[in-house]
Amino acid sequence: MKNALIFGVTGQDGAYLSKFLLDKGYNVFGTFRRTSHKCFESLDQLQIFDQVNRIKADVTDASSIQSAIRQSQPDEIYNLAAQSFVGASFQQPILTADITAIGTLRVLDALKENASDAKFYQASASEMFGNSPGIKDENSSFKPRSPYGTAKVFAHQTVNHYREAYNIFACCGILFNHESSFRGIEFVTRRISWNLARIKFKKIEKFTLGNIHARRDWGFAGDYVESMWLMLQQDKPDDYIVATGESHSVEEFLTLASEYAGLGDWHDFVEIDESNMRPTDIDELIGDSSKAREQLGWKPKMKFNDIVKHMVEYDMNYFKLRIKQFGN
């Protein structure tokens, strides 16, 4: 049985990846920062909480990283730990860099010293490309437009350096936006589905959004974690774009979600608030995953409309159940 260590197991991707690896017969270890049980909500909902070996560790603390590696004796390490909300990176650029950029360096350095034979996966991000023109592939240039994107570029290039300099089997998955009902409410897709459910059940009358014209390549997180695993099963390490090849605007997501919620025209209850706008934003991100499809045999399964429906139904059911149980 192989051991897998996931840095950042409590997030959306960490939960889905844990379930995927457990189904593959792995012994899964996952690190977490917070002590509140609520941070394990996604693991609970996937009914795998008791199957994941949880280790308290923080990628800003080198000694805790080393301890996690020694405890888990991993065959594979997946670094999903990050301050991943782009908007917050403008308010907390130093923290974002410490976690997302230097945190990756700390993990790689600990791997080199304590588990150099382990295979390593790094969660890179489409935000690294910024507003570089056209459909993005593995050869597209990086022009980040946020502290988050800049931190991810540092981490990405550091992984490439460690792969070349120390012969570490290290891969970067450049995953474009991938959503699910486990997304944090601060992310625009979940902000939409969550607040539409609140409106439907009379909790609020209106909510605000920022740039609804931004276009993104949205896939389903449960599909994307398979690509992470596939990268580490190859004969040689490499980097891969993981995307659907389609882009949709925030407004399209909102329109469709409002229809699924049975609320009609979103203009009646959504206001555009400039305070929700980022200082610098990206007009469109769309990825070419031909390499991943051809070399890994990976492809996305859930379509855009189904992702929107999945998220709306989840949040609607949450409030329906809450009202049934507690009356509010």
Are 209 and 256 in a shared domain?
yes
**Percentage with pLDDT > 70 across the chain:** 96
Q: Residue 10's domain is classified under what CATH number? A: 3.40.50.720
Per DSSP, 132 falls in state -
Are residues 17 and 7 part of one domain?
A: yes
Residues 124 and 205 placed together within one structural domain of the fold: no
Domain membership flag for residue 290: no
Pair (76, 109) in one structural domain: yes
Mean pLDDT check: name the lowest of 32-46, 157-171, 213-227, 275-289: 32-46
Q: Is the pLDDT of residue 156 over 60?
A: yes
* Domain CATH number, residue 277: 3.90.25.10
Phi-psi category of 158—alpha, beta or left, where left has phi over 0 and alpha has psi -120 to 50?
A: alpha
Are 206 and 103 in the same domain?
Answer: no
Q: How far apart are CA 131 and CA 247, in angstroms?
A: 14
Same domain flag for 16 and 69 = yes
pLDDT interval class at 85 (50, 70, 90): low
pLDDT value at residue 37: 47
Q: How many domains are contained in the chain?
A: 2
Q: Give the structural domain span for 89.
A: 3-179+218-242
Q: 293 in a domain, yes or no?
A: no
Is residue 309, in this structure, part of any structural domain at all?
yes
Are 223 and 116 contained in the same domain? yes
CA distances for 292 relative to 33, 138, 200, 222, angstroms: 32, 10, 40, 16
Tell me if 291 is assigned to some domain.
no
Residue 231 and residue 123 share a domain: yes
pLDDT for the residue 216: 95
Residue 289 lies in a domain: no
What is the model's pLDDT at position 36? 43
Q: Which residue has the tokens 């305070």?
A: 275
The better pLDDT of the pair 295, 322 is held by: 295
Q: Does residue 292 lie in a domain region? A: no
Q: Is pTM, for the whole model, over 0.85?
A: yes
The pLDDT, as a whole number, for residue 90 is: 80
Residue 273 lies in a domain: yes
H/E element holding 248?
strand 248-249
Based on the fold, state whether residues 238 and 319 are members of the same structural domain. no
Kindly state the tokens that stand for 91. 């308010």
Shared domain for 202 and 238, answered yes or no, is: no
- CA–CA gap between residue 316 and residue 198 (Å, rounded): 8
Structure confidence at residue 131 (pLDDT): 86
- Indicate if 209 and 222 belong to the same structural domain: no
* 53 assigned to some structural domain: yes
Confidence band of 84 (pLDDT split at 50, 70, 90): low
Q: CB within 8 A of 59, min separation 6: which ones?
A: 7, 8, 65, 79, 81, 99, 103, 104, 106, 107
Q: Based on the fold, state whether residues 209 and 119 are members of the same structural domain.
A: no
